[in-house]
Structure 1
Amino acid sequence: MKRRHFFQNAGALSAGLALGVSDGLLAAQPKADYKKHPFIIGVNGHKITYNVPNLSQKVKIMHVTDTHLWRDDERGVKFQEYSGRMAKAYNETKHFLSGEPTHPEEAFEATLEIARQEKADAITLTGDLFSFPSEAAIEWAFDKLEKTGIPYFYSSGNHDWHYEGMKGSLHELRETWINERLLPLYKGQNPLMYAVDVKGINVVNIDNSYYEILPEQLAFYKAEAKKGNPCS
């Protein structure tokens, strides 16, 4: 199943929010009427606030994606014919607020520091953390994430497991490099689909990193969405 059909069939609201709300989504305002509009989204800079009915406590989740970490070492030399282009693609980046030059690793560490300062309840990592499945980059990120002391939940993107030009189907390459390199980031969860509870929010992770949802993933998502808890 193509992923563009996934949310239609799953009955989800927007990009993965299965909250079962029929009211229109409004920008949150100081005098928002939560009885008339029980589900309201507020946007303030890079922060998004969801006011969800029947949620009894505040939940803070740091969402991190597309960091494209690319460090490598001698273990990656034999893969350079496949990693060479992506190893150079994100060497220099710009800060999304200031426009100042930055570095993916600096930005990643700064993001984790914000999560610590904000006392985030969880960090969700939704793919393309890496430009290619470099052992050095994966180990570096794993160490930084572990040191935060914050629960984190990872789902792969296509770059995380893809070596450009390497023989094999997308399915085979994903399975190979998840199992050989990325598995520690899942902390024992099923890489293709899993769900965790974060203070009453059912955080559902579905891997669609080669743009297809498997029937068993759709069935899993539907079952999780029916549990009744706010689902993201």
Structure 2
Amino acid sequence: MNQPLRTVATLFVSDLHLDDARPEATALFLRFLREEAMHADALYILGDLFEAWVGDDDPSAVAAAVAGGLRAVSDHGVPVYFIRGNRDFLLGPGYARRCGMRLLPDPCVTMLYGRPALLMHGDLLCSDDQAYQAFRRQVRDPAWQRDFLRQPLPQRQAFAAQARAASKAHMQGVREEITDVTPATVEATLARFGVGLLIHGHTHRPAVHSLVAAGHPRKRIVLGDWYRQGSVLRVDTDGFELAALG
């Protein structure tokens, strides 16, 4: 966190997976909010802010601390935006209001210093993982979510624990390339939106990729996770920097 800042920038993070079991990650994020995000042009969180989210009525201490940190950034005049991830797809308008952040659809296009950029969590790009995509369609269905959120909180928490265990077992049983993005899907998505820049998380493979889609050069920036260190993308008028936070 002692790196010199280049200029005022727009900041992107994803895959923090915050929960009570990893207080050091929460502390790092809150410090990042105080020391850097407070002075940014905007902050985008591209999903999986939390390890799990079973409803805006979750009373966890981490959720309260994060809401306070984000609200301070928002109250300071910095816009905060959020795209739901595969772990916190149930995060709703109630919690967003507590944080002072705006919920965005996945995918969405935003303007970065005069240049359009496509923002996604990234799980939609992993189209070869058909079992996951089927699960995603199920839990993103509004009727399923409505019925789930009507259940008592302990029941929802038990479901989330079972889902995490099943996800871990699934990841161990599939080839590594299936858990990464499908190149053809990336190219088709970029061509469909007609933009030259894609920013996403989800795969935990931080990198900058150059590719060609529909005959035009494009760039794909993948954000890192916060399991071992922080990961932030800084974009300003001079370009971008994908950096690690210690």
Q: TM-score, normalised by structure 1?
A: 0.42
